[in-house]
A and B are shown apart, each in its own frame.
Chain A
Amino acid sequence: MSAPVATSVDRARRHPTGRMPLGRDPVEAAADVALVTRAHRRPLRRVRLVVGMLFVVTVAVVLARVLLGEYTVTLVDFVRILRGETLETAPGASFIVMEAKLPRALIGALAGGAFGAAGAMFQTTLRNPLASPDIIGISLGASAAAVVALTFFDAQGFVVPLAALAGAMAVSVVMYLVARGTSLAGQRMVLVGIGVAALLASVIQLVMTRTSIQDAQAALVWLTGSLNRATWPLIGLLALGIVVLVPALALNARRMRLAELGDELSTTLGSPASGARLGLLIAVALSAFATAATGPISFVAFLAGPISRRLTGGRPSLWAAALVGAVIVVAADYLGDYLIPDVNLPVGVVTGALGAPLMLAVVIAAGRHGKA
């Protein structure tokens, strides 16, 4: 704070009854600082508390997914299996846990977390609750590439997720080029995204009508998004993406919170819109990895942000959104497995069925605030 500088501009005291408190009593000033510190910390404490609780819930849901169900495993047995011991009483348990239940729960949690964080980044940066990677065509880019790979190229195993990754990245490059130099807040990016999504949807339709029924079925299974394909190499790919991208995303979280103030104010605060766009690109890459691993799981990216924001009392938090996404996917997968006896619903069907009404609720709530 600079000391008052006398200006050489002559200045008659034109406002003798200045309304502002001019005096600065040191005691009062100290009280103000204490008040500000308290007021500033309170929401941060709440965010930390919420993130901590969500973490516990996530671990609990993952454990429930692994231990419960048609084939239950005790926690003690689970720990023994993890340590590589074979259970004398149930020699098959190790295989079921390590090759089916655990990978499924892990890939659900990782992909859900990636979707959640990416969605929250989009919605906050673009200041639009409708902007999320699955709505603006990123997921459809992955889907179209995967479907083409599955049907025209008979792709097997690891080629499909890699094709999906490439597809999502290609769409994000298009979006980036279109949105470059425009206002972040503008509806342009969202509108272009919806257009790209429609185009890609028709590409998928075309492929589906031209291919054999077997290929079409395989493609359709991919398109609904499921955790059935969970394998350790796939988890490795997803984990690699997350390990690289999540710290990069976390570094951009402050920029994201500035972008909320609009392009102009964030620029004058030293964070030009180009920086926020970088954060979006990282979010896109993150959701591309998740989509490559599980297929598009509808509504997770879209809903995790608003739900986590409700929990944190309004403050956007990428960690909270990621954990909410993880809980949603693992819990939805669990529901899909056991909700209807003898029917194994893919996780994408469950999130779609439950997510649509929730989406309407979000839109209505946003409309009330005049944001949508």
Chain B
Amino acid sequence: MTSRQAPDAAVKPPLGERGQSPPAALRTYGLSLAYDGRTVVDTLDLEVQRGAVTAIVGPNGCGKSTVLRGLSRMLRPVSGRVLLSDPVSGSADACGEPRPLRDIWSMRPKEFARRVALLPQTPPVPEGITVVDLVGRGRHPHHSLVRRWSEADDEAIAAAMRSTDTTGLAERHVDELSGGQRQRVWIALTLAQDTDVILLDEPTTYLDVAHQIDVLDLLVDLNRRRGTTIVMVLHDLNLAARYADQVVALRGGRLLAQGPPADVVDEAFVRSVFGLESRVVIDPVAGTPLVIPASRDQLIGPAS
């Protein structure tokens, strides 16, 4: 675990009793990303644990989505590297052998697309497309000039639609679906891509609270069942604390804190990341930290 200590010591030290830290699926070294010369992410060292759910949180404009773009080959780094480790079966790394790491920019686009999927925030819906056709486009990285559509593709689509509970929508037009159904269909497309890492940019935007929970339950479920590594940008700190194994906090393009929510999220953390006074209590439903923000004029009362 490479938690970097925030200046105001908001971060607790990594837990020693966890033993050897799990291998990283994705890892950045000194990653700097910029748009037109304006640096948005500054020398970021980040480790995304394999098989874990990681939530990236931070204030607006802190570079959350940009980090995702950097991890997904969408944005070429100004400096630094992004490395992807090969998914070897669990026993291989018990021998202490370092997993082969590859720079993501040394891979071919389709090869990378078979390993890492990204679901952007609000992708455009093609005109008149049916659900099954849309989900099927996720199979593109598995095709080539010689390898066209096969039964394996149908199976992958069926499995993806089944896990997202969209099988019944197969022949519906995507533009007729509700926001929640549509988000499930997009996730199904990402699943059909059949990668071991999935990155999602604010998968709960524009969804009501029931559908937010629905989508996040679905993602955690996939993570458990398939062992898919999930990295998502979430703006809701409480949902991040509830659903993530690892919380990564960014501010001003720099890593402020990283660790399990129970260890990381507290009042000092919220203050240092968002500049917000708050109370952090235990979520009575999930047992995870629950942030209750204070308005500017409200005083924080004594703990009950």
Contact = CB atoms under 8 A, between A and B. Distances in A.
Interface of A: 1-12, 14-15, 18-22, 24, 29, 32-33, 35-37, 39-40, 42-43, 127, 185, 251, 254, 257-258, 260-262, 264-265, 267-272, 309, 313-315, 369, 371
Contact of B286 (A14, A260, A314, A369): A14
Chain A CB within 10 Å — which of B119, B170, B243 has the most? B170
Interface in B134-182: 136-138, 140-141, 143, 145, 151, 154-159, 161-165, 167, 170-171, 173, 175
Closest 8 pairs (CB-CB, A-B): A314-B128, A5-B227, A270-B113, A270-B110, A7-B51, A260-B126, A39-B170, A264-B120
Nearest to A5: B227
B286 A36 contact: no
A15 B225 CA distance: 13
Contacts of A14: 220, 242-243, 286-288
B266 interface: no
A309 B128 contact: yes
Contact of A32 (B128, B131, B162, B196): B162
Contact of B127 (A2, A3, A258, A309): A309
Nearest to B168: A35
9 contacts: A2-B227, A2-B228, A5-B90, A33-B151, A42-B171, A262-B124, A269-B141, A314-B128, A315-B128
Contacts of B127: 260, 309, 314, 369, 371
B107 to A, nearest CB: 10
A7 B287 contact: no
Nearest to A6: B90
B96 interface: no
A20 B132 contact: no
B195 to A, nearest CB: 9
A127 B129 CA distance: 13
Nearest to B157: A36
Given A264-B118, A314-B173, A32 B161 contact: yes
Contacts of A42: 171
Contacts of A3: 227
B193 interface: yes
B170 A251 contact: no
B87 A2 contact: yes
Contacts of B19: 8
A252 to B, nearest CB: 11
Nearest to A3: B227
A257 B138 CA distance: 11
B145 A270 contact: no
Given A265-B120, A309-B128, A33 B217 contact: no
Contacts of A22: 221, 225
A32 B246 CA distance: 35
Nearest to B15: A10
B74 A268 contact: yes
A2 B133 contact: no
A36 B140 contact: no
B145 A251 contact: yes
A18 B215 CA distance: 11
A11 B245 contact: yes
B194 to A, nearest CB: 7
Interface in B245-304: 245-246, 260, 286-288
Interface string B217-235: 1101100111110000000
Contact of A264 (B74, B129, B158): B74
A268 B113 contact: yes
Nearest to B156: A1
A187 to B, nearest CB: 14
Which of B73, B127, B164: most chain A CB closer than 10 A? B127
Interface in B69-126: 72-74, 87, 90, 108-114, 116-120, 123-124, 126
B123 A261 contact: yes
B170 A36 contact: yes
B52 A9 contact: yes
Given A7-B52, A9-B51, A21-B165, A269 B138 contact: yes
A20 B218 CA distance: 6
A53 to B, nearest CB: 19
Contacts of B72: 267-268
A262 B123 contact: yes
A19 B218 CA distance: 8
A32 B135 CA distance: 14
Nearest to A10: B18
B124 A261 contact: yes
Contact of B158 (A6, A36, A185): A36
B109 A271 contact: yes
A268 B110 CA distance: 8
Contact of A40 (B112, B132, B173): B132
B130 interface: yes
Nearest to A255: B140
B61 interface: no
A313 B194 CA distance: 29
Contacts of B143: 254
Contact of A7 (B49, B214, B217): B49
B22 interface: yes
A156 to B, nearest CB: 44
A10 B217 CA distance: 17
Contact of B170 (A35, A185, A269): A35
A39 B90 contact: no
Given A4-B225, A39-B132, A265-B118, 20 more contacts: A1-B194, A2-B226, A2-B227, A4-B227, A5-B50, A7-B245, A15-B220, A29-B158, A36-B132, A37-B151, A39-B130, A260-B127, A264-B74, A264-B123, A268-B74, A268-B116, A268-B118, A269-B140, A270-B110, A270-B140
Nearest to A11: B245
Contact of B133 (A185, A272, A315): A315
A19 B162 contact: no
Nearest to B74: A267
A259 to B, nearest CB: 9
Contacts of A43: 130, 133
Given A9-B246, A268-B113, A4 B52 contact: no
